[in-house]
């Protein structure tokens, strides 16, 4: 598996990836700018979750939430809620653990920001194919070399895994016993890392020859086989999103939102 | 089309020259096969013809290599790759890594050359069709078998339609059917005016498809000529190049007095059949 | 001679992708036999032979190596009986020195230290790379790395050796070297199973050929007989060796295995 991307026919999937990226960045800017914990929570409930449902990736998002985020939130709530050093308004106490209002608010603030950030990013990744993102970004003016580095690093992971898998298989074929739990497997994999990296480096040399043979970098303005639609409505939408985020930040800075 | 004059090259820190006093001429629109033992300098020669040596490789370079009248070492690498397409040995390392489908992979070079989109689609479809890749166009390039990757690597260079094409052991992972397909494509390209240089171990195929053969041994061209004369040369095995079984059989028949000494040794099936039938083998 | 019969019964293998790579194969290979498996890319050859050391498990049917069923042995256990050389050496080689890589198998199999040194050096001499023992494999050429991969399996001294495309990228001397290695293995009583696209190499070095197409066996038998079975070869898109094709064009009914054999037949015909 290369990415988390899920192929679905939905309006969210069809959006220009740059629009989705701008929306994500706007959300991140807003939730970290405003001090109120209920605003990030509101964004999660009113924007992120509906978007996931509309894109028919809600189930996967929930699963990822349970695996990735929930444990983190629980730890955060316990540590900050019960052991917040500056907490004065004690609600409940048992030994050294004191549940304070300040600790609760702090963990809610951090937790809701974190949720908006992680869930928003997940919806983005779940609904955006990396190839389409790269194309859209290059179309929007990003350098093709930077696009190459990003795409290549996305693809190098599965290629790396594939290689590690085949070498491990070859080692077993030469008598290496790995059926002995994760520790044994890890011990078997450890000596693999150096040669794998070295192998990849030799590859880079050969690959750069192959890339240059195909005129990579010969022109700053390459054309593109795949074209990502970018209707006027989305371009306006992006500016509005950016303006909204900027406005919120200004309002926070000048003290209207406190 | 290709002219190498007294070319020599030694890699950085290498104790000896990989190539020395090398002269090579390839006429426009012909297919030249390069044969030689492992370590004879074939890959280095390919990189010189394609302009990658000396521009991307440190070391000592002497002599002149010109393609279509331009001396490669005097121009930029981009200028060179516009004239000479290079297909390197390991297909896995020829996948760009930047594209997610075979279709996009094939278009990669055209994008870099700012080819218009409609033309790009046409050319990618056409090359995929000739190399039997149409069914794979929407697959990830990394999900292919070694043989399929090799065909994609060749197609990704053929699609750019360079006037000169250099291929370094392009059929090593292909089965006979895939190998024939590649040679058919090269033959068609050469009919269309493309000059082809191919490094290969498969003597019989080279004999069938090449206009000329050069033998490389210890960094020097030791023999050049038509496939029929080069592959029938008695010195071939001393240069580490295999003779076909038919040539070996004809040599033995000649030694045993069954074929006239004057007969040119056959290499492939059709010339072999002619020689043996003429001398009483057919029944 | 080893005493391990390879028995493949009703074998099917379907990959997760849904592709049925092996679609019902029955095959018995006697101890010490040398068998070549030929067929187009995608015919199921590699999937079939990967069952021999458990790298691929039967979806249906069974594979036995002597009294062991590969279904209930680990790859490591099976490596005591079956050595496997990968087609692409870079999928196999991992150590920092040639010697270290070749010694990996013997070490895992529990060879004594002096036995390891001895088997490593013998194997490296067999592939003509004894002088490169201390070199980093990445400094060798692809055809040399291929020979390191072969040495790594020779050093294990398994009763069965599987070779996936041993001659790719080898020049004339390399192919001859591999042929002599196979002879040495046979002299030791080792069973050799090889996949190959090189029909000249196949006809000259294997007494038995198995032709595969679409996951099934289309022909199986003595090399000369199989290469005379034109319909089966055509169905599997396998091109016969050069001398067989020549004999066919000349209208001969028999097939010569090597140039000398061909000339003998030619001489007989000339005499009438």
Domain count, chain A: 2
Across the range C120-145, mean pLDDT stands at: 92
Q: Does C119 touch chain A (CB under 8 A)?
A: no
Residues A157 and A206 occupy one common structural domain: yes
Residues of A with CB under 8 A from a CB of C: 163, 166-167, 169-179, 191-192, 194-196, 198-199, 202
Q: Report the distance separating Cα C132 and Cα A57, nearest Å.
A: 56
Q: Quote the pLDDT of residue B142.
A: 82
Output the six-digit token pair for B159: 């699609």
Residues A125 and A174 occupy one common structural domain: no
| Cβ–Cβ under 8 Å, residues C233 and C212 | no
Residue in C261, C268, C34, C37 with CA at minimum distance from that of residue B245: C261
Across the range C137-160, mean pLDDT stands at: 92
Question: Helix or strand or coil: residue B264?
Answer: coil
Q: A206-220, C152-166, C212-226: which range is least confident on average?
A: A206-220
Across the range C214-220, mean pLDDT stands at: 96
| Cβ–Cβ under 8 Å, residues A192 and A164 | yes
Residues A187 and A68 occupy one common structural domain: no
Q: Quote the pLDDT of residue A180.
A: 67
- What is the phi/psi pair of residue A209, to 5°? -60, -45
Residues A22 and A122 occupy one common structural domain: yes
Q: Report the distance separating Cα B61 and Cα B63, nearest Å.
A: 7
Contact partners for chain C, using 3 or more CB pairs closer than 8 A, are: A, B
Residues A100 and A166 occupy one common structural domain: no
Cα dihedral A187, A189, A193, A195 sign? positive
Using the 8-state DSSP alphabet, how is residue C139 labeled? G
ipTM comes to: 0.82
Please judge whether C84 and A173 are an interchain contact, meaning their C-beta atoms are less than 8 angstroms apart.
yes
Q: Report the distance separating Cα A57 and Cα A7, nearest Å.
A: 9
Q: Report the distance separating Cα B259 and Cα B208, nearest Å.
A: 23
Give the CATH superfamily of B2-235: P-loop containing nucleotide triphosphate hydrolases (3.40.50.300)
Place of tokens 């009294």: C67
C16 interaction partners in chain B (CB closer than 8 Å): none
Q: Quote the pLDDT of residue A168.
A: 84
Q: How many CB pairs under 8 A join A and C?
A: 65
pLDDT in tens, A25-77: 999 999 999 989 999 999 999 999 999 999 999 999 999 999 989 999 999 98
Please judge whether A192 and C94 are an interchain contact, meaning their C-beta atoms are less than 8 angstroms apart.
yes
Residue A167 lies in a domain: yes
Cα dihedral A48, A50, A53, A58 sign? positive
Q: Report the distance separating Cα B19 and Cα B33, nearest Å.
A: 17
Residue of A nearest to C51 (CA): A173
Which helix (H) or strand (E) segment is B67 a member of? Answer: strand B59-67
Helices (H) and strands (E) in chain A, counts: 11, 2
Q: Report the distance separating Cα B148 and Cα B182, nearest Å.
A: 12
Residues A207 and A235 occupy one common structural domain: no
Mean pLDDT: which of A182-186, B9-13, B65-69, C35-39 is highest?
C35-39
Output the six-digit token pair for A88: 């004065």
Q: Quote the pLDDT of residue A1.
A: 42
| Cβ–Cβ under 8 Å, residues B115 and B196 | no
- What is the phi/psi pair of residue C3, to 5°? -120, 30
CA distances to C227, C236, C240 from C232, rounded to whole Å, are 9, 6, 11
Q: Give B185-188 contacts, CB < 8 A, sequence gap 24+.
A: B185/B130, B185/B131, B185/B154, B185/B158, B186/B31, B187/B31, B188/B130
Name beta bridge partners: A100.
Answer: A90
Q: Does position A101 have pLDDT exceeding 80, yes or no?
A: yes
Output the six-digit token pair for B110: 């055209």
B85 interaction partners in chain A (CB closer than 8 Å): 213
Residues A238 and A127 occupy one common structural domain: yes
Residue of A nearest to B124 (CA): A225
Give residue A257's pLDDT band: very low, low, confident or very high (50, 70, 90).
Answer: confident
Q: Quote the pLDDT of residue A191.
A: 67
Output the six-digit token pair for A70: 């929930």
CB atoms under 10 Å from CB of A144, counted, come to: 20
Q: Quote the pLDDT of residue B37.
A: 92
Give residue C183's pLDDT band: very low, low, confident or very high (50, 70, 90).
Answer: very high
Output the six-digit token pair for B85: 């397409």
Contact partners for chain B, using 3 or more CB pairs closer than 8 A, are: A, C
Residues A46 and A159 occupy one common structural domain: no
Please judge whether C242 and B204 are an interchain contact, meaning their C-beta atoms are less than 8 angstroms apart.
yes
Sequence-distant (6+) residues with CB within 8 A of B138 are B101, B102, B103
Sequence-distant (6+) residues with CB within 8 A of B74 are none
Q: Quote the pLDDT of residue B281.
A: 63
Which stretches of chain B drop beneath a pLDDT of 50? Answer: 283
Q: Where are the domains of chain C?
A: 241-272
Q: Report the distance separating Cα C127 and Cα A92, nearest Å.
A: 77
Residue in B215, B239, B256, B255 with CA at minimum distance from that of residue B32: B215
How close, in Å, is residue B175 to chain C by CA atoms?
6
CA B160 to chain centre: 17
The whole-model pTM stands at 0.84
A129 class by beta-carbon count within 10 Å (0-12 exposed, 13-18 middle, 19+ buried): middle
Q: Where are the domains of chain B?
A: 2-235, 244-283
Name beta bridge partners: A197.
Answer: none
Q: A24-33, A187-196, A211-220, B96-105: which range is least confident on average?
A: A187-196
Q: Quote the pLDDT of residue C91.
A: 82
Pairing between β-strand C68-69 and β-strand C60-65 as defined by DSSP bridges: antiparallel
Q: Does position A187 have pLDDT exceeding 80, yes or no?
A: no
Sequence-distant (6+) residues with CB within 8 A of A258 are A35, A252
Residue of B nearest to C164 (CA): B173
| Cβ–Cβ under 8 Å, residues B127 and B106 | yes
Sequence-distant (6+) residues with CB within 8 A of C175 are B242, C167, C198, C201
Residues A104 and A22 occupy one common structural domain: yes
Whether residue B54 has a cis bond before it, omega within 30° of 0:
yes
Where in the sequence is the domain holding A65, given as residue range(s)?
Answer: 11-136+230-254
Please judge whether C92 and A175 are an interchain contact, meaning their C-beta atoms are less than 8 angstroms apart.
no
Contact partners for chain A, using 3 or more CB pairs closer than 8 A, are: B, C
Q: Any idea what the Cα angle at residue A71 is, between residues A66 and A75, rounded to 5°?
A: 155
Q: Report the distance separating Cα B97 and Cα A32, nearest Å.
A: 35
Q: Report the distance separating Cα C72 and Cα B142, nearest Å.
A: 32
Residue A152 lies in a domain: yes
CA distances to B216, B222, C173 from B36, rounded to whole Å, are 5, 10, 11
Output b/e per residue, B50-88; b: 16+ Cβ within 10 A. bbbbbbeeeeebebebebeeeebbeeebbebbbbbbbbb
| Cβ–Cβ under 8 Å, residues A112 and A40 | yes
Q: Quote the pLDDT of residue A195.
A: 67
- What is the phi/psi pair of residue C7, to 5°? -125, 120
A217: left (phi over 0), alpha (psi -120 to 50) or beta: left
Output the six-digit token pair for A19: 């629009």
pLDDT in tens, C53-97: 999 999 999 999 999 999 999 999 999 999 999 988 888 888 889
Q: Report the distance separating Cα C201 and Cα A125, nearest Å.
A: 52
Output the six-digit token pair for B177: 């059917």
Q: Report the distance separating Cα C75 and Cα C55, nearest Å.
A: 6
């Amino acid at each position: 598996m290369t990415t988390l991307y899920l192929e679905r026919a939905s309006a969210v999937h069809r959006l220009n990836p740059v629009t989705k990226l701008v929306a994500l960045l706007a959300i991140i800017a807003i939730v970290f700018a405003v001090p109120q914990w209920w605003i990030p929570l509101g964004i999660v409930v009113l924007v992120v979750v509906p978007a996931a449902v509309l894109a028919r990736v809600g189930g996967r998002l929930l699963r990822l939430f349970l695996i990735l985020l929930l444990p983190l939130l629980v730890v955060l709530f316990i540590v900050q809620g019960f052991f917040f050093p500056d907490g004065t308004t004690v609600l409940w106490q048992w030994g050294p653990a004191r549940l304070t209002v300040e600790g609760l608010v702090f963990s809610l603030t951090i937790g809701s920001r974190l949720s908006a950030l992680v869930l928003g990013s997940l919806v983005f990744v779940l609904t955006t194919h990396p190839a389409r993102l790269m194309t859209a970004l290059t179309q929007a003016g990003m350098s093709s070399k930077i696009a190459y580095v990003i795409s290549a690093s996305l693809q190098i992971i599965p290629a790396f895994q594939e290689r590690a898998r085949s070498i491990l298989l070859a080692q077993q074929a030469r008598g290496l016993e790995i059926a002995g739990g994760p520790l044994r497997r890890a011990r078997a994999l450890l000596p693999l890392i150096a040669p794998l990296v070295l192998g990849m480096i030799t590859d880079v040399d050969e690959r750069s020859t192959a890339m240059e043979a195909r005129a990579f970098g010969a022109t700053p303005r390459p054309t593109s086989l795949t074209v990502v639609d970018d209707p006027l409505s989305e371009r306006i939408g992006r500016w509005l999103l950016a303006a909204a985020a900027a406005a919120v930040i200004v309002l926070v800075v000048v003290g209207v939102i406190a | 089309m290709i002219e190498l004059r007294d070319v020599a090259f030694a890699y950085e820190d290498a104790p000896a020259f990989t190539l020395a006093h090398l002269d090579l001429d390839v006429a426009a629109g012909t297919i030249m096969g390069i044969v030689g033992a492992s370590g004879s300098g074939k890959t280095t020669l390919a990189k010189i013809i394609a302009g990658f040596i000396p521009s991307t490789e440190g070391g000592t370079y002497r002599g002149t290599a010109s393609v279509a009248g331009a001396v490669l070492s005097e121009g930029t690498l981009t200028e060179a790759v516009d004239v000479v397409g290079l297909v390197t040995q390991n297909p896995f390392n020829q996948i760009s890594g930047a594209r997610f489908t075979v279709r996009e992979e094939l278009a990669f070079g055209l994008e870099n050359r700012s080819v218009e989109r409609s033309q790009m689609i046409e050319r990618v479809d056409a090359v995929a069709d000739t190399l039997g890749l149409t069914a794979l166009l929407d697959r990830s390039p990394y999900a292919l078998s070694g043989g399929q990757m090799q065909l994609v690597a060749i197609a990704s260079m053929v699609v750019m339609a360079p006037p000169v094409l250099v291929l370094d052991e392009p059929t090593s992972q292909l089965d006979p059917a895939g190998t024939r397909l590649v040679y058919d494509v090269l033959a068609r390209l050469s009919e269309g005016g493309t000059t082809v240089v191919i490094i290969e171990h498969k003597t019989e195929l080279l004999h069938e498809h090449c206009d000329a053969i050069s033998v490389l041994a210890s960094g020097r061209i030791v023999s050049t000529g038509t496939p029929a004369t080069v592959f029938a040369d008695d010195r071939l095995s001393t240069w580490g190049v295999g003779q076909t079984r038919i040539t070996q059989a004809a040599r033995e028949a000649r030694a045993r007095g069954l074929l006239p000494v004057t007969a040119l040794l056959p290499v492939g099936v059709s010339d072999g059949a002619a020689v043996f039938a003429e001398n009483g083998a057919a029944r | 001679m080893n005493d391990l019969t390879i028995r493949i019964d009703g074998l099917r293998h379907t990959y997760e992708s849904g592709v049925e790579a092996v679609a019902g194969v029955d095959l018995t290979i006697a101890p010490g036999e040398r068998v070549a498996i030929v067929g187009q890319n995608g015919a199921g050859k590699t999937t079939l032979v990967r069952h021999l050391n458990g790298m691929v498990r039967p979806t249906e049917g069974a594979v036995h190596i002597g009294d062991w069923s590969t279904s209930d042995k680990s790859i490591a256990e099976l490596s005591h009986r079956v050595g496997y050389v990968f087609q692409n050496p870079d999928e196999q080689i991992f150590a920092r020195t040639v010697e270290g890589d070749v010694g990996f198998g013997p070490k895992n199999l529990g060879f004594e230290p002096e036995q390891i040194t001895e088997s490593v050096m013998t194997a490296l001499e067999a592939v003509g790379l004894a002088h490169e023992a201390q070199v980093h494999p990445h400094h060798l050429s692809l055809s040399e790395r291929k020979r390191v991969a072969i040495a790594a399996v020779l050093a294990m001294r398994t009763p069965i050796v599987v070779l996936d495309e041993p001659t790719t990228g080898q020049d004339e001397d390399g192919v001859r070297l591999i042929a002599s290695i196979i002879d040495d293995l046979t002299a030791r009583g080792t069973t050799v199973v090889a996949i190959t696209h090189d029909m000249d190499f196949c006809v000259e070095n294997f007494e038995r050929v198995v032709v595969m197409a679409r996951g099934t066996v289309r022909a199986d038998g003595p090399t000369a007989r199989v290469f005379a079975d034109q319909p089966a070869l055509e169905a599997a898109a396998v091109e016969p060796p050069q001398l067989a094709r020549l004999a066919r064009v000349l209208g001969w009914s028999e097939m010569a295995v090597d140039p000398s054999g061909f000339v003998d037949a030619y001489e007989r015909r000339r005499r009438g």
